[in-house]
Amino acid sequence: MELKRLTEAFGPSGCENEVRNLLREEALKLCADVSVDRAGNLVCFRRGTDPTKPGVLVAAHMDEIGFIVSGCTEDGLLRFQPVGGVDPRVAVSKWVVLGRDRLPGVIGAMAIHLQSPADREKVLDFDQLFIDIGAADAKEAEKLCPKGTYAVFDTPYAEFGDGFVSARALDDRVGCWSLLKVLQSGYAGDLYCVFVTQEEVGLRGSMAAAFNAQPDIAIVLEGTAANDLGDTQPREQVCVPGRGVAVSFMDLASIADRGLYQRVLGVAREEGIPHQVKLGITGGNDAGSFQRAGRGARTCVLSVPCRYIHSGVSVASLKDISAQADLACAFLKSL
């Protein structure tokens, strides 16, 4: 499946249906046991042929950050709240699409000409922003976009520069793309490949998947924040696009199993797969669920560095995306 198709699919947290349907179509070509659990996770299971091999689960989340309509004004502008961690500074004047019919809208705020000096010194919060869908009044707005309607940034996929890609939802459609590659691997042990829901709002889907699968090892495929812009000093850089897949030793949700962490780095070196250590202890991901649920699991996280993450458009290196898939598959082979 093309990454373009995945990134342009509509899938904010709690509304992953379109993404799940695309992935399910591909997964059924590769795996006989494909199901959807009650949390909405797409679970692909392949029974191993060698019982001495550890049971492995590899996961990536389907959902993306977005917005949800919470009401409207009398003149037909939509009130809304973020779904996941979105900085309101990146939202103003961006195009969005809303609901199943992809209704276009623009996130608006008071024009700078009308703002007071005090207004211009503070960041406008979401309660001071609105989505303009061109509705004549509240009645029309409510009919077109009732409360609970989801919205996402309207951003096309584009490849540019020296092997870079810009798109919406690289976090974590890059992981989903890589996970399809993993599903093609010939691992001899029990293998779960799980495309999980609602990571951006608290690792919710992965908790259900963790209790169901109870793997020995869980590998999480993610997109993570790069920090290589402008005058950022090398010691402050988290990871750098173009230098390979980032391997985490710790983040705010989990600490990597030391043996797995060292093994992954060793495999990357032996196979010549471009890689880097994620230097910043930032963010959190579904490894937190797999590490803690039931009997727990040994975890490690492989991430694609993404600039401008959790905004309307992110940037990543196509080489890093391929490296993520290659390292995940090579790690399974090494077991």
Q: What torsion, rounded to 10 degrees, do the Cα atoms 195, 43, 12, 243 define?
A: 0
Backbone angles phi, psi at 59, to 5 degrees: -130, 150
Separation of alpha carbons 78 and 73, rounded Å:
6
Q: 16 catalytic, yes or no?
A: no
Q: Tokens 């905004």 identify what position?
A: 311
For residue 227, what are the contacts with CB-CB under 8 A and spacing of at least 6?
A: 236, 237, 238, 239, 280
Of the candidates 65, 78, 123, 127, which has an alpha carbon nearest to the alpha carbon of residue 104? 78
User: Which one of the listed residues 8, 26, 64, 199 is annotated catalytic?
Assistant: 199
For residue 113, what are the contacts with CB-CB under 8 A and spacing of at least 6?
A: none
- Which residues are tagged catalytic? 199
